[in-house]
Chain A
């Protein structure tokens, strides 16, 4: 028994150290005086002020946030419908295909989705003369990719709770729509909220899909980060990393609170 506890502590200790040590170092070095990210030369907040004065980075962040709000909201609606259909719809022809199509974007290599969506937008543009690549095409791409994640959260929540509540409402004469609105929706609302948050952060982080469908005018935050990181380590990116980790932790705590609540 003793050995088992020690094994558990060792496994978790090693795993968490592996996951968090690199991030912790990046965060610590955001307060480094030196431009070199590998040499500690004293505490300084100058890279923080440099990032906060970096117009290009800030406008990219603002664009990313607006895209993330739009795509997360659309994905929440579509993911809710998909998750509900997967958990509650009686067997229908093509159900396996439907399930596969909902889940596939979650694991599909992003370069494959990226090129396919770009070709679609180019084709639509040639046929109908629009829309131009930019905000709208990025938001559509992010939505398509995020539906899977919302659907899985919603589906898991629906599989967990007692179906008899819905059945009771129906027996008492409620229409399916009224049952959904007054019973199901309030019960799964936290899951939808958690799914929205996940879709939001996924959209905020996405580089590959965005790079394909963005067009020449739009520069999102990950695109800026990528072009800067390719040239080597940059203390301003450390600052950004610190902010992202803190925001992600906040979002995750809210999401955890939403899904744990009964």
Chain B
């Protein structure tokens, strides 16, 4: 058993944990464009100070958190009814319905965001459709706005919301709902007092699975967002690839990691608990 634990532990220790020490070390250094790699090691907190005093970076943090939070909420509102409907469907139908939710996740994210580029583009299919139905004479372009980023995140992460919700809703004892009905609870009251509280672990897991990665999302704001909406994942990317400022990009990574440590720990505890219950 020791060897079984040691194998993944060593791998993840070397390739997942150890690199963060390096990132921290680089983040404390300064940019040195003339050397290879472009870093002068040191012990300076200038990069971190910049990230929390410069208006541009501060705005990027706030926008990222806000977009991730609202997208998570929308994904929950869209995903909950879906998960509920699948959990209540005939058992024979559930695997197919579930598979249809998972399939988009198995295709490429890049391709799925690309699909929206064609839909949302100026004079794109959505524009044409709106004009054809007469709903809007001259629809404004959606691509390049925050709307498009929200849409992209909800679209890309919806499977991550539905799966944990389904897992808790499916195990829900329907006898409890019958008992509530027998005691005179209306369906809505039964839902609010029985179903909703009991599905809380699924809600928490689903929200964390959507929220954590979307805070640092890069592809979606890059392809669907405009130049004025700067999310922090894009800041990291641009500092690294465009400006070649490795220390500043590393500082962004460290801050992002610290920011998400709380949600990450919560998610891990939730996973461990749901495993305990299954045992």
Chain A interfacial positions (CB closer than 8 Å to B): 4, 7-9, 11-12, 14-16, 18-20, 22-23, 25-26, 29, 37-38, 77-79, 81-82, 84-89, 92, 96, 98-105, 107-113, 115-117, 119-120, 122-123, 140-141, 143-144, 147, 151, 155-156, 159-160, 176, 198, 201, 204-205, 207-208, 211-212, 222, 225-226, 229-230, 232-233, 237, 240-241, 244-245, 248-249, 251-253, 256, 260
By beta carbon, the residue of chain B nearest A92 is B5
Whether the pair B110, A38 counts as a contact (CB closer than 8 A) is no
Closest to A88 in B: B1
B278 touches A159 (CB 8 A): yes
Interface size class of B (residues with CB under 8 A): 35 or more
Interface residues of B in 208-245 (CB under 8 A from A): 208-209, 212-213, 215-219, 222-223, 233, 236-237, 240-241
Contacts of A9 in B (CB 8 A): 85
Q: Closest residue of chain B to A36, judged by CB?
A: B123
Q: How far is the CA of A34 from the CA of B174 in the complex (A)?
A: 54
Q: How far is the CB of B197 from chain A (nearest CB, A)?
A: 20
Which of B42-50, B51-59, B131-139, B256-264 contacts the other chain? B256-264
Q: Which residue of A lies closest to B257 (CB)?
A: A112
Give the number of residue pairs across the A-B interface with Cβ within 8 Å.
Answer: 252
Q: In the complex the two chains form, what is the Cα distance from A237 to B208 in whole Å?
A: 32
List 8 A-B pairs, minimum CB-CB distance, nearest first: A109-B216, A11-B81, A116-B19, A8-B85, A22-B115, A82-B8, A248-B106, A205-B108
**B114→A229 contact, CB < 8 A:** yes
A112-B216, A159-B275, A233-B114 known; A260 vs B95 contact (CB < 8 Å)? yes
A110 to B11, CA, bound (A): 18
Q: Are A81 and B4 in contact (CB under 8 A)?
A: yes
Contacting residue for B84 out of A11, A20, A113, A251, CB 8 A: A11
Whole-angstrom distance between the Cβ of B191 and the nearest chain A Cβ: 11
B67 at interface by CB-CB < 8 Å: no
- Give CA–CA (A151, B15) in the complex, Å: 17
Q: B89 in the interface, Cβ–Cβ < 8 Å?
A: yes
Chain A residues whose C-beta falls within 8 Å of the C-beta of B85 in the assembled complex: 7-9, 11-12
How many angstroms between the C-alpha atoms of A20 and B114 in the bound complex?
13
B104→A19 contact, CB < 8 A: yes
Report the nearest A residue to B85, measured CB to CB: A8
Residues of B within 8 A of A105 (CB): 12, 16
Check B15 against A100 for contact (C-beta < 8 Å). no
B233/A233 in contact, CB under 8 A: no
Q: Are A96 and B253 in contact (CB under 8 A)?
A: no
With contacts A8-B85, A103-B267, A147-B12 taken as known, whether A225 is within 8 angstroms of B110 at the C-beta atoms is yes
Measured in the bound complex, the distance between the Cα atoms of B187 and A18 in whole Å is: 28
Beyond the given pairs A15-B81, A18-B155, A245-B111, 6 more chain A to chain B contacts, judged by CB atoms under 8 angstroms and listed by A's residue number, are: A7-B85, A9-B85, A12-B97, A107-B264, A229-B223, A248-B106
